[in-house]
């Protein structure tokens, strides 16, 4: 059985031509038991990939292709939670020190974060192949020794791909020889960039956008053929009929990769506690102190509700989260910064007692389970409205100072093309004239076409589309 362990999605910006959901659906159609997503220098596509694979009945595997100083990339697969933590730390440190899209690491840095990770050598774009081309076989052999020293013999696989390219097959024969010399296992992959062959045309367009050229002028920048799609086990068996162990190793390795986002095990930064207190005891103490000020008198109905909430918070090990939010609100109060909790947090008597929210959920008969429920298996979400500008920035800086640069982060958004910007970029890749691109983009809203405005009269001749 074959498992594809090197797939890229559209989160490899302007490289992958299929969304994670499309890859998951295709894998299910091909009856893959598992599939790995290795986007370039990030795991931002992993949550959508994880959800889509779960819905499709495919086991989702996590990894990334890490850019190397000097060029090339090193594909890394996550074995366990420690490996995921190491991969995220490696990517974070790489990106913090470089302009957007320019980050890269060397093998010394990779060695610091190698535990829990499995290394593929890459094929044409990998460090071994690049070293063979630029520095010769001897240096490539030393680099393979270095990788083996970092990840161990069981943690390095020499990757073989076959896309019907003469130079690639010549490289494969060298890689096979090196694997035998170093006692390393071969692993077959297809280096997938799109779910099916029909997506090849889109991938060509993305390549042109990335290289700022047109389809007519791109030449060898474009792929020679349409082979980098999710193939069936039978297709891969035919391709690697002389290297069956390389196919079998894809399945055997997938069985060793136990981590999914279900095992994330995220922990909030440790809240600094007074001597003799635990997270639970300190939250309980603050809650009851606040409740005595909120409820006058502190009646039995409020006490029962607060005890019920505290018991669940303790059971789910969430006391630290509530303390972090309480501390943030207290800072705002002391600095005269308006801060108000909202949303489902208003259903919590604990939040009300901690002065995070302003609505009494007991008096209003609000349902706590709308905010936090053991059955839902989700963390509570406490939204706090802050003023814009310098006062908001003051709060952000307090969080960074309190928990450290690597202990706090801003939520990041992945920027996507809307219809008009996509039309402009695609029009450039087709070589359309600027006025045609302008007219085309005006036919679209931010999200899609104006059906009533699509009219061939907008374009004077068919040649404008050719």
Give one DSSP letter per residue of 312-381, joined into a string: HHHHTT-HHHHHHHHHHHHHHHHHT---EEEGGGGG-HHHHHTTS--S-TTTTT--GGGT--TTTT----
Domain total in the chain: 3
Do residues 205 and 319 both lie within one domain? no
Q: In CATH, what number is assigned to the domain containing residue 29?
A: 3.20.20.140
Q: Report if residue 268 sits inside a domain.
A: no
Q: Note whether 302 and 295 are within 8 A (CB).
A: yes
The residue from 238, 263, 288 where one domain ends is 263
Do residues 242 and 295 both lie within one domain? no
Query: In whole angstroms, what is the distance from residue 311 CA to residue 228 CA?
Result: 53
Do residues 209 and 89 both lie within one domain? yes
What pLDDT sits at residue 449? Answer: 55
Query: In whole angstroms, what is the distance from residue 38 CA to residue 253 CA?
Result: 15
Q: Report if residue 274 sits inside a domain.
A: no
Backbone dihedral region of 160: left (phi > 0), alpha (psi from -120 to 50 degrees) or beta?
A: beta
Nearest to 41 by CA among 16, 74, 17: 74
Per the listing, tokens 């996507």 go with 416
- Could you check whether the bond before residue 297 is cis, i.e. omega within 30 degrees of 0? yes
Q: Report if residue 272 sits inside a domain.
A: no
Strand order from edge to edge, sheet including 73-78? 34-40, 59-67, 73-78, 117-120, 156-160, 185-188
Query: In whole angstroms, what is the distance from residue 125 CA to residue 170 CA?
Result: 14
Do residues 81 and 162 both lie within one domain? yes
Do residues 392 and 439 both lie within one domain? no
At 169, list the tokens: 């097959």
SS (H, E, C) 325-342: HHHHHHHHHHHCCCCEEE
Write out the residue range of the structural domain in which residue 335 sits: 279-403
Do residues 154 and 242 both lie within one domain? yes
Q: Report if residue 322 sits inside a domain.
A: yes
The residue from 228, 263, 298 where one domain ends is 263
Distance of CA 108 to the CA centre of its chain: 24
Length of the chain in residues, anyone?
466
Q: Note whether 32 and 58 are within 8 A (CB).
A: yes
Nearest to 362 by CA among 374, 343, 348, 373: 348
Segments in 122-165 forming alpha helices (H): 127-135, 137-151
What pLDDT sits at residue 128? Answer: 93
At 236, list the tokens: 């891969």
What pLDDT sits at residue 170? Answer: 93
Do residues 90 and 200 both lie within one domain? yes
The model carries a pTM of: 0.86
Query: In whole angstroms, what is the distance from residue 33 CA to residue 340 CA?
Result: 47
DSSP result, 400-429? HHHH-TTT-----------HHHHHHHHHHH
Q: Note whether 313 and 372 are within 8 A (CB).
A: yes
Q: pLDDT 10s digit of each residue in the chain, 466 long?
A: 899 999 999 999 999 999 999 999 999 999 999 999 999 999 999 999 999 999 999 999 999 999 999 889 999 999 999 999 999 999 999 998 998 888 999 999 999 999 999 999 998 889 999 999 999 999 999 999 999 999 999 999 999 999 999 899 999 999 999 999 999 999 999 999 999 999 999 999 999 999 999 999 999 999 999 999 999 999 999 999 999 999 999 999 999 999 989 878 777 788 899 999 999 999 999 999 999 999 999 999 999 999 999 999 999 999 999 999 999 999 999 999 999 998 999 999 999 999 999 999 999 999 999 999 888 777 788 999 999 899 999 999 999 999 887 788 888 788 888 888 999 999 999 999 999 999 888 888 655 555 444 444 444 333 333 3
Q: Report if residue 308 sits inside a domain.
A: yes
Q: Report if residue 95 sits inside a domain.
A: yes
Q: Report if residue 270 sits inside a domain.
A: no
Do residues 440 and 387 both lie within one domain? no
Do residues 207 and 119 both lie within one domain? yes
Q: DSSP letter at 465?
A: G
Query: In whole angstroms, what is the distance from residue 79 CA to residue 364 CA?
Result: 49
Measure the N-to-C terminal CA separation of the chain; round to a whole number of Å.
Answer: 44
Do residues 387 and 426 both lie within one domain? no
Q: Report if residue 102 sits inside a domain.
A: yes
Do residues 50 and 153 both lie within one domain? yes
Do residues 156 and 93 both lie within one domain? yes
Neighbours of 81 (CB within 10 A): 14
What pLDDT sits at residue 460? Answer: 37
Nearest to 214 by CA among 371, 56, 431, 426: 431
The residue from 210, 234, 263 where one domain ends is 263
Q: Which residues contact 270 (CB under 8 A, 6 or more apart)?
A: 320
Measured at the CA of 197, the angle between CA 253 and CA 53, to 5 degrees, comes to 45
């Amino acid at each position: 059985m074959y498992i594809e362990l090197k797939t890229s999605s559209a989160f490899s910006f302007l490289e992958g031509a299929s969304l994670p959901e499309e890859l998951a659906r295709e894998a299910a159609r091909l009856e893959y038991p598992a599939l790995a997503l290795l986007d370039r220098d990030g795991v931002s596509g992993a949550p959508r990939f994880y959800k889509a694979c779960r819905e499709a009945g495919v086991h989702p595997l996590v990894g990334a292709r890490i850019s190397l100083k000097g060029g090339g990339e090193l594909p890394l697969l996550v074995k366990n939670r420690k490996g995921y933590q190491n991969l995220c730390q490696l990517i974070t440190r790489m990106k913090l020190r470089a302009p957007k899209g320019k980050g890269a690491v060397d093998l010394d840095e990779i060695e610091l974060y190698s535990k829990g990770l499995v290394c593929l050598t890459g094929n044409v774009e990998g460090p071994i192949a690049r070293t063979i081309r630029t520095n010769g076989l001897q240096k490539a052999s030393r680099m393979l020794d270095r990788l083996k020293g970092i990840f161990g013999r069981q943690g390095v696989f020499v990757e073989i791909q076959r896309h019907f390219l003469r130079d690639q097959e010549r490289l494969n024969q060298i890689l096979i020889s090196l694997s035998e010399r170093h006692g390393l296992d071969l692993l077959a992959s297809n280096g997938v960039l799109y779910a099916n062959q029909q997506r090849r045309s889109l991938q060509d367009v993305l390549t042109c956008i990335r290289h700022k050229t047109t389809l007519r002028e791109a030449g060898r920048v474009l792929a020679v053929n349409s082979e980098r799609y999710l193939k069936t086990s039978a297709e891969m068996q035919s391709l690697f009929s002389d290297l069956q162990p390389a196919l079998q190793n894809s399945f055997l390795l997938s069985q060793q990769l136990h981590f999914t986002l279900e095992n994330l095990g995220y922990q909030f930064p440790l809240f600094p506690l007074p001597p003799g207190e635990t997270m639970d005891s300190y939250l309980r103490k603050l809650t009851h102190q606040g409740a005595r000020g909120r409820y006058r008198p502190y009646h039995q109905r409020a006490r029962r509700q607060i005890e019920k909430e505290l018991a669940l918070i303790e059971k789910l090990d969430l006391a630290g989260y509530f303390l972090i939010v309480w501390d943030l609100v207290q800072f705002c109060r002391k600095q005269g910064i308006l801060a108000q909790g909202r949303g489902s947090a208003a259903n919590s008597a604990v939040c009300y007692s901690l002065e995070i929210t302003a609505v009494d959920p007991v008096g209003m008969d609000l349902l706590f389970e709308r905010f936090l429920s053991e059955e839902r298996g989700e963390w509570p979400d406490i939204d706090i409205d802050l003023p814009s500008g310098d006062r908001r920035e003051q709060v952000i800086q307090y969080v960074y100072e309190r928990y450290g640069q690597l202990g706090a982060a801003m939520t990041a958004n992945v920027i996507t093309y809307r219809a008009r910007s996509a039309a402009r970029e695609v029009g450039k890749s087709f070589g359309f004239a600027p006025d045609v691109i302008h007219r085309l983009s005006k036919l679209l809203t931010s999200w899609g076409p104006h059906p009533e405005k699509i009219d061939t009269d907008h374009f004077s001749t068919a040649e404008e589309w050719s």
